[in-house]
C-alpha cells in the first residue's frame, strides 16, 4: 500500500523531553566512578531504563547486577531510583563499596517516608509495585508502607482513622488524584504529600498539550521505563494515534500516513540523541515538500 503523506509535515518535540536531572547525574557518577576505580564496577540493576545507554555502559565495563548476591568484589552504584536500607546493609555486609547515585529528590521522599513511619502512620505509596524506587520507598517505611497502583486497589482498603499518602516521583498525576480521592472516603484523617517530581509534571503536561495539537505522537523510551509508560498512557487517552517506540527503526510509513503534524516526547530515561534520531528518520525517510521542527513551548 502506498502511504499517503500531507504536503506540509511538521515535527514538534515536547518541552523537557529526554533525560531528567536525576538520571543525568547518575550517568555522570557512573562514568566518573569507572574512571576512578580499577576493579569491577556494577550498577544495582539497570542504571537507567534505556537499552541504548545500558549497551554503552557495558562497553565501558559498567555492568548491571540484578542480584547483589552474585557480586563478590568491586564497586556498586545505587541508581537514581534509590534502594531500601536492607539493600545497603546487605552490600555493606559483603564489603562491596557503594557509590550512591540516588537522585536527591528521591532521597527527600525516602526521608519523608522514614519520618512518617516514625510517627506510626500507615503510609500509602502510590506507584508501580515492581518499580525499584517504590520498593526502595517501602523499605524506608518500617513495615508501615502499602503500595497501591490504582483507584481500584485503594477502594479495597479498610477504614482507618489516620493515613499518609505519597507517590512515586514519576507517578501520573491523574492516578495520584484518583487514589487520593478513594482514600479520603476510607480515612478519617488523610495526610496528603504530592511527591511527584516537578520535572515529571512538566513532562506530563507538555506531552498532554502536544497530544492535543498533533495527528500522531511517538513516545520514545525503554519499554521497561515506568515514566515513559505513564507518558504513553497520558497521550493515548487524548490521541488514539500514539505509538510507544524504543528507537527510530520501529517507525513504519503506515504509522504516519496522512499525518500533518507529528509529535515526539521522550521519558526521563530517554537520551536526546535517541529523540533526535527519530526526528531525523522522519525527516529523511518520509521526506516530502518540507519539514519544520520546533520545540513546543508548553507552559507548566
Ligand atoms: S524523575 Fe525527578 S525524582 Fe525521579 S530521578 Fe528524575 S529528577 Fe529525580
Test site for ligand 1: of 19, 27, 172, 197, most ligand atoms within 8 A of the Cβ: 197
The closest residue, in CA terms, to atom 2 on ligand 1 is 197
Residue 9's pLDDT is what?
80
In a domain, 139, yes or no: yes
In a domain, 61, yes or no: yes
Residue 124's pLDDT is what?
98
Which range is least confidently modeled, 136-145, 234-243, 252-261?
Answer: 252-261
Q: Who wins on pLDDT, 104 or 273?
A: 104
In a domain, 257, yes or no: yes
In a domain, 3, yes or no: no
Residue 112 sits in the same domain as residue 189 = yes
Which domain CATH number covers 284? 3.40.1010.20
How far, in Å, is the centroid of ligand 1 from the Cα of 3?
40
Residue 141 sits in the same domain as residue 77 = no
In a domain, 43, yes or no: yes
Residue 70 sits in the same domain as residue 85 = yes
Residue 295's pLDDT band (cuts 50, 70, 90): low
Residue 44 sits in the same domain as residue 110 = no
Residues 6 or more apart in contact with residue 82 via CB below 8 angstroms = 102, 103, 106, 107, 110, 132, 133, 136, 137
Instruction: Tell me how many degrees the CA angle 137-132-231 measures, rounded to the nearest 5.
Output: 105
For the chain, percent of residues with pLDDT exceeding 90: 76
pLDDT tens, position by position, 139-182: 999 999 999 999 999 999 999 999 999 999 999 899 999 999 99
**Domain finish residue from 138, 163, 196:** 196
Residue 239 sits in the same domain as residue 184 = no
Pick the closest to residue 227 from 172, 151, 276, 176 (CA basis).
172
Across 47-67, average pLDDT? 90
Residue 114 sits in the same domain as residue 153 = yes
Domain span at residue 175 reads 105-196
**Residue reference for cell 504513553:** 232
pLDDT tens, position by position, 92-122: 999 999 999 999 999 999 999 999 999 998 9
**Domain finish residue from 166, 196, 226:** 196
Which domain CATH number covers 52? 3.40.50.11270
Kindly name the residue from 61, 118, 122, 133 that is annotated as catalytic: 133
Cell numbers standing for residue 209: 498539550
Across 214-238, average pLDDT? 93
Number of domains in the chain: 3
Which range is least confidently modeled, 178-182, 186-190, 257-261, 295-299?
Answer: 295-299
Residue 74's pLDDT band (cuts 50, 70, 90): very high
The pTM for the full model equals 0.85
Residue 290's pLDDT band (cuts 50, 70, 90): very low
Residue 98 sits in the same domain as residue 112 = no
Give residue 195's Cα distance to chain centre: 14
The closest residue, in CA terms, to atom 4 on ligand 1 is 169
Which atom of ligand 1 sits closest to the CA of residue 198?
2
Residue 294's pLDDT is what?
52
Residue 298's pLDDT is what?
46
Mean pLDDT estimate for the chain: 91
Residue 117 sits in the same domain as residue 182 = yes
At residue 2, does pLDDT exceed 60? no
Handedness of CA 173, 202, 105, 47 (dihedral sign): positive
Residue 290 sits in the same domain as residue 252 = yes
Helix (H) or strand (E) holding 35, with range, is helix 21-36
**Domain finish residue from 102, 133, 158:** 102
Amino acid at each position: 500500500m502506498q502511504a499517503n503523506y500531507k504536503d506540509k509535515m511538521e515535527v514538534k518535540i515536547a518541552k523537557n523531553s529526554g533525560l531528567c536531572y536525576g538520571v543525568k547525574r547518575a550517568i555522570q557518577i557512573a562514568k566518573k566512578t569507572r574512571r576512578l576505580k580499577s576493579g569491577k564496577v556494577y550498577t544495582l540493576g539497570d542504571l537507567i531504563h534505556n537499552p541504548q545507554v545500558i549497551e554503552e555502559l557495558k562497553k565501558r565495563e559498567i555492568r548491571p547486577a540484578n542480584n547483589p548476591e552474585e557480586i563478590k568484589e568491586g564497586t556498586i552504584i545505587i541508581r537514581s531510583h534509590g534502594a531500601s536500607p536492607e539493600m545497603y546493609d546487605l552490600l555493606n555486609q559483603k564489603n562491596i563499596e557503594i557509590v550512591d547515585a540516588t537522585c536527591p529528590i528521591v532521597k527527600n521522599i525516602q526521608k519523608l517516608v522514614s519520618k512518617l513511619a516514625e510517627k506510626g502512620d500507615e503510609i500509602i505509596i502510590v506507584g508501580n509495585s515492581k518499580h525499584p524506587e517504590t520498593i526502595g520507598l517501602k523499605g524506608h517505611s518500617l513495615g508501615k508502607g502499602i503500595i497501591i497502583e490504582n483507584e481500584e486497589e485503594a477502594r479495597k482498603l479498610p477504614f482507618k482513622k489516620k493515613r499518609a499518602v505519597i507517590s512515586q516521583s514519576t507517578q501520573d498525576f491523574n492516578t495520584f488524584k484518583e487514589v487520593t480521592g478513594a482514600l479520603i472516603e476510607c480515612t478519617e484523617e488523610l495526610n496528603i504529600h504530592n511527591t511527584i517530581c516537578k520535572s515529571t509534571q512538566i513532562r506530563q503536561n507538555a506531552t498532554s498539550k502536544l497530544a492535543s495539537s498533533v495527528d500522531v505522537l511517538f513516545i520514545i523510551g525503554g519499554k521497561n521505563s515506568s515514566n515513559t509508560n505513564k507518558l504513553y498512557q497520558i497521550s493515548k487517552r487524548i490521541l488514539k494515534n500514539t505509538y510507544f517506540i524504543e528507537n527510530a527503526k520501529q517507525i513504519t510509513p503506515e504509522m504516519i500516513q496522512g499525518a500533518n503534524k507529528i509529535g515526539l516526547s521522550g521519558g526521563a530515561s530517554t537520551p536526546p540523541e535517541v529523540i533526535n534520531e527519530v526526528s531525523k528518520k522522519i525527516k529523511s525517510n518520509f521526506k516530502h515538500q518540507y519539514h519544520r521542527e520546533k520545540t513546543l513551548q508548553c507552559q507548566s
